[in-house]
Amino acid sequence: MTEFENTKSGADVQQPARGSSQPASGKPESAIICWGGDVNLGRRQHYRTEEIGVHNVLDLPAMRTADLRIVNLECVVSTCGQFGIDKGESGPFYYRARPEMLHILRAAGIDVVAVANNHSGDYGREALIEQGKWLDTFAIKHAGAGNNIHEAFEPCYAQAGPYRIAFFSFDTTQHRFAATENAAGIAYLDIQKPDLWRRTLEKRILEARGNADLVLIALHWGKNFAARPTEAEIALGHTIIDLGADAVLGSSAHILQGTEIYKGKPIIYDAGNLLFDSIQGEYDTGVFRLHVDSEGVYRVQFAPARARFGHTHELPQAEAAKISENFAALCSELGSAVELEDDGSATLTIRECCSPPRQPESAVSREPFVSDDAIASALATIGVRNEWIAREVPADARLDNPIRLGPLVLLGLRCSTRKLTGRAMLWVESFWICLETPTANWRLDIRAVSNDRATPVVWGGGMDHDPCDWMLPTTRWQPRQIYRDYVGLRPPASNSLRNAQLDIEVGLVNPL
């Protein structure tokens, strides 16, 4: 890892004066910055959004009424790249979304996204850079990735009421996606190297402080479903506050963790899943409203919500209150006092504000504005990539007797692996044709099932998908064109593995 040049060492940093963001009256104004956790726009979110409507996906008044809205974008939005980037995992998840899925963020009023995480590099460096271009097209600011290490570690700047905000995004979980001097990637640093964090961030936070009123740092850290932050995470959060950040905004665990007030600054250790496409279960979640004035963050309000299959909504008072009570208990363990409000929300008061809050605008607005027509024109330029089609079916994949399934015909199929010796992905390539353009989007359901049907072991369960790895729904197909699908079937749990022959099963999911 290349280290940035710096001029000081240690945690005691002399900060330049804050900007004087005050209205003409001379009285300081307050504003609200909203932080939400992980947002995955990929996989099942594609068809789920069609089912419920884009404006019903993230229906969160507590977010919409903020001055600035930020989330962690836990996927890559791109048309390029391919399944199978080495993530050092036996059964990795890969999240890629079609560019039109950014309409979800637009409808919810999301202004800024953190992109340094363990899924932004799922389809390679080219796809990561393409994502930045699509975010620019939708006028969504982003931080945490770039063409090289210097770009990846740059903040983006956004406005929250009268205040200019510098926003950084860093990851501690996937070193394989790290940007280098000469290669695109994310802003990655090893959580076990606190001195490297100090040397890397000290100068950058100082520079950002000179260009902004507040400095916010998003950290993607920690293990999945960990209920509490580790000692290393707590130490890193403290270090970043010591270096001059106004708040730490955490994500990665997919569940809510507590919030700590350290030296008068909030460390939100994990905001949980804000939007996820899991068809099993629900997630207690919420958004964090950071009330800020010219001196920094003076209050944090937690507004509970519940993430269900492909959509997230705020809750009635009774249900919200239960989530807030659990959140308050987690905060108490970190030494933070929480006040439970009558509406079911929870408040951490850091200090009194110098003036009453600004009146929030009723409608979502974003600068710079981008028109729907401009976005539609950009999306219309997306073509069919070469890896999604084929001139002919390869000889070793060709079926002697093609199989008709609904409106599609399966012409060929092959596996890249003939023998598995442990828990690993099983890669399957299939070739399809339609005789006439389907009037609905049919999903491919490809799985490998052990021939012991009494207690079958399944690779790829629940992985039905739009063809071409979600990139080309069947309503966009042309008759007589051969389409190629390449899918990695995720393995079952290790404790269910045994010696068996696997049969490939192929079907279609009826969209009606």
| CATH (domain of 39) | 3.60.21.10
| CATH (domain of 471) | 2.60.40
| Judgement on whether residues 393 and 472 belong to the same structural domain of the protein | yes
| Judgement on whether residues 347 and 473 belong to the same structural domain of the protein | no
Q: Is residue 135 part of a domain?
A: yes
Question: What is 67-125 written as a DSSP string?
Answer: SEEEEEE-SEE-S---S----S-SS----EE-GGGHHHHHHHT--EEE--SSSTTTT-H
How many beta carbons lie within 10 A of that of residue 392, not counting itself? 10
Q: Which of 317, 344, 373 is the last residue of a domain?
A: 373
Contact 246, 214 (CB under 8 A): yes
Sequence-ordered list of residues with C-beta below 8 angstroms from that of 193, at least 6 positions apart, any chain: none
From residue 1, how far is each of 87, 177, 193, 248 by CA, in Å?
Answer: 18, 12, 11, 23
Tokens of 389: 């089609």
Q: Is residue 22 part of a domain?
A: no
| Judgement on whether residues 354 and 410 belong to the same structural domain of the protein | no
- H-helix or E-strand containing 130? helix 125-137
If we measure between CA atoms, which residue out of 245, 348, 208 comes closest to residue 289?
A: 348
| Judgement on whether residues 325 and 213 belong to the same structural domain of the protein | yes
Q: Is residue 381 part of a domain?
A: no
Helix, coil or strand: residue 386: helix
| Judgement on whether residues 192 and 135 belong to the same structural domain of the protein | yes
How many helices and strands, by DSSP H and E, does the chain display? 9, 29
Tokens of 160: 């929250």
Q: Which of 307, 338, 373 is the last residue of a domain?
A: 373
Q: What is the pLDDT of residue 23?
A: 45
- H-helix or E-strand containing 260? strand 259-262
| Judgement on whether residues 220 and 263 belong to the same structural domain of the protein | yes
Average pLDDT by stretches of 10, the chain with 512 residues = 35 46 56 98 97 96 96 98 92 97 97 98 97 98 98 98 97 98 98 96 97 98 95 98 98 97 98 93 94 96 97 96 98 98 97 67 58 95 96 97 96 91 94 93 96 88 96 96 97 90 94 70
Sequence-ordered list of residues with C-beta below 8 angstroms from that of 332, at least 6 positions apart, any chain: 258, 338
Q: Which of 373, 408, 442 is the last residue of a domain?
A: 373
Contact 308, 274 (CB under 8 A): no
Tokens of 371: 């028109």
| Judgement on whether residues 391 and 364 belong to the same structural domain of the protein | no
| Judgement on whether residues 366 and 476 belong to the same structural domain of the protein | no
What are φ and ψ of residue 220, in 5° steps?
-100, 105
**The total number of structural domains that make up the chain:** 2
Q: What is the pLDDT of residue 511?
A: 73
Q: Is residue 10 part of a domain?
A: no
| Judgement on whether residues 369 and 390 belong to the same structural domain of the protein | no
| Judgement on whether residues 305 and 440 belong to the same structural domain of the protein | no
> Rounded CA gap, 78 and 45, in Å?
15
| Judgement on whether residues 339 and 369 belong to the same structural domain of the protein | yes
pTM, 2 dp: 0.92
How many beta carbons lie within 10 A of that of residue 286, not counting itself? 31
Q: Is residue 200 part of a domain?
A: yes
Q: Is residue 379 part of a domain?
A: no
> Rounded CA gap, 163 and 229, in Å?
30
Sequence-ordered list of residues with C-beta below 8 angstroms from that of 504, at least 6 positions apart, any chain: 413, 415, 428, 446, 447, 448
Tokens of 481: 């064109």
Helical residues (DSSP H) of 398-504, grouped into ranges: none
Q: What is the pLDDT of residue 25?
A: 43
Q: What is the pLDDT of residue 166?
A: 98
| Judgement on whether residues 226 and 251 belong to the same structural domain of the protein | yes
What are φ and ψ of residue 502, in 5° steps?
-105, 130
If we measure between CA atoms, which residue out of 124, 119, 202 comes closest to residue 168?
A: 202
Q: Which domain holds residue 53?
A: 31-373
Residue type, 77: V
> Rounded CA gap, 319 and 2, in Å?
48
Which residues in 263-345 belong to E strands, given as ranges? Answer: 265-268, 273-275, 283-293, 296-308, 311-314, 339-340
Strands 96-97 and 76-77, by their bridges, are parallel
Q: Is residue 247 part of a domain?
A: yes
Q: Is residue 264 part of a domain?
A: yes
